[in-house]
Structure 1
Amino acid sequence: MKGSELAARCGWSESKVSRITHTKTPPSDDDILRWCVACGAEDQAADIIAANRQADEMYVQWRKVHRDGMKRAQDAEMERLEQTRLTRVYYSNVIPGVTQRRGYATSLMTAITRFQETPNDVDAAVESRVARSNLFRRANHRFAMVLEETVLHYPFGDADAMREQLGFLLEIMRLPRVSLGIIPRNAPREMWPLEAFYIYDDRQVMAELLSAVVTITTPGEIASYDKAFKILAGMAVYGPRARHLIQQAIHSFE
């Protein structure tokens, strides 16, 4: 079907067909429905409309997420975690937010606010973030976390803040519902270091990029992150070997 015929069937100008075709203008729900009807594919309209909406919601810039400051996003993350029974976490750049202590979180979130040039509500956001650690002791929540060893050595805050932060990792490792693995710097790589991500049960993945957060709900993509997490977890060390790496990092801040 030529663009002119499609335009006639939809009641549009040919230029509108061209703009949508070349992704210069995003289609509305009604545009998609009309297009599908014109092509004899009305039964596909609902799925395409849902996919189009998801694409708009999937990639959100941090500056938009933090447009009113960081606390609102921290509260939303607490709600997600409370609704999740198994949270899997991988980080290659910083200590995961769910385990952060006040000194570390304050230094990190101050740097983020400065870089993003968003409203500064760091004190309130830190309180919300630190409160997440209560979830570690709830009977209906389990956490599996994998960190690159280099994360243990990136200083956010002063030496006291780093010792407190790393000491907290040692503390939660003893909890029965927490698995914490460290990938040694010299471990043979079966998987390259990835962007930080959370997997919430099997329903959603949140991947953190420099400029945006990506929300993934497509089963095939979730399966890819599940596969990657299993490989990364298999490269990590646990128990006494993981504690030794954390203790070495603590000594480096003395």
Structure 2
Amino acid sequence: MTTDYQQAREALGVRLRELRMSAPDGRLTGTRLARLLGWPQPKISKLENGRQTATPEDLRAWADATGQPDAYGELLARLRGFESHIRSWRRQLSGGHQPVQQTIAAEYERSAIVHGFESATVPGILQTADYARHVFDRYTELRRSPQDTEAAVRARLKRQEFLYDAHRRFEILIGETALRSLICPPSVLAAQLDRLSGLIGMDTVRLGIVPFTAPLKIPPTGGFWVHDERLVMVEVWHAELWIDDADSIALYLRTWRTLRESAVFGPEAQHLIGHARRALNGV
């Protein structure tokens, strides 16, 4: 499946080809341009066909060599767009939820430390099978995606094996709203809360709960997940953003650490989960 990132890279290649073909002194062949730039000819082909990502220096050289230096700003803006990889749900879910879960699992496998925040739902990495099943069913209906709930649930639970890997660490914050949101039947949520309680005290997982009554330095918005210091994943309604520029990653880590100041851990988190669990007895 072609990613939105790859499509953007191919679109940049088309624009580079246009500049080569419309040089003010006449159309340049790929071979001629390579000689002007001192590059191997295959590099021209790779850039124009979206098989290699240009550097800012490449773009500056290309604009100058084709006699159109003013095009550099436009080319650089296109390149900067790669820093936020927008992976539309429509495109990702064309084959169902299972492939998406497998793609996310691959990123967890590459990560030693994961910082995550979810304000209104229990994170997938911590979900029970029944809770995950209700989440997938609801999103399948909303996004009109292929129905592969059971395969998606199995893939999500498979990912949870990373929680028990002594070489990894998960720093996870959850808003108290997630403990009480009935996106599933009360009995399913009760079992999910029991699951969260059981995770407190694990040496690979540090689970914090941000209470309703906690003073907040910043208002919590949507969830995000920081993998080491190389990638941030942010889910919005139409897409999943994969952000890999250093400044943005640093911003999300600062955001996570600011939210952590409002969270409670250990026995206090256990108390909040238990309070939400007891409240379900009357539902």
Q: TM-score, normalised by structure 2?
A: 0.75
> What displacement does 1:29 show?
4.8
Query: Of the candidates 240, 244, 249, which is equivalent to residue 217 of structure 1?
Result: 244
Alignment of 1:108-119 (within 5 A): 108-119=135-146
DSSP 3-state at the match of 1:182 = strand
Matches within 5 A, 1:2-151: 9=24, 29-30=47-48, 34-37=62-65, 38-40=67-69, 48=76, 51=79, 54=82, 58-151=85-178
Distance in 2, matches of 1:251 and 1:36, equals 69
Deviations along 1:163-213, one digit per CA (max 9) or x if unpaired, are: 111111111112111111111111111011122111000000000101110
CA distance in 1, matches of 2:262, 2:143: 34
For the 8 Å contact 2:120–2:176, the answer to whether it is kept is no
CA–CA separation in structure 1 for the residues paired with 2:211 and 2:154: 31
3-state DSSP of counterpart to 2:192: helix
Which of residues 184, 205, 212 is equivalent to 2:232?
205
Contact preservation (8 Å) 1:10, 1:35: no
Cα deviation for residue 78 of structure 1 reads 1.1
> Residue 21 of structure 1 corresponds to which residue in structure 2?
none
In structure 2, distance between residues paired with 1:80 and 1:100: 18
Alpha-carbon distance in structure 1 between the residues aligned to 2:196 and 2:145? 30
Equivalents in 2 of 1:204, 1:114: separation in Å? 29
Amino acid of the residue matched to residue 217 of structure 1? D
Q: Give the 3-state SS of the residue equivalent to 1:195 in structure 2.
A: coil
Q: Compute the displacement of 1:84 (Å).
A: 0.5
Residue deviations 1:65-118 (CA, integer Å, cap 9, x gap): 111100001011111111110011000121101011111100111000100001
- Which of 174, 177, 186 aligns to 1:159? It is 186
Q: Which amino acid aligns with 2:79?
A: A
1:157, CA displacement in angstroms? 2.3
Q: Give how far 1:151 is off.
A: 1.0
Q: Which deviates more, 33-42 or 62-71?
A: 33-42
Shift of 1:229: 0.4
**Number of matched residues?**
231
Partner Cα distance (2:122, 2:90) in 1: 21
- Alpha-carbon shift at residue 155 of structure 1 (Å): 1.4
Mapped to 2, the partners of 1:10 and 1:168 lie a distance apart of: 69
Structure 1 SS opposite 2:241: strand
Unpaired segments ≥5 residues, structure 2: 1-21, 28-45, 50-58
Q: Give the aligned partner of residue 19 of structure 1.
A: none
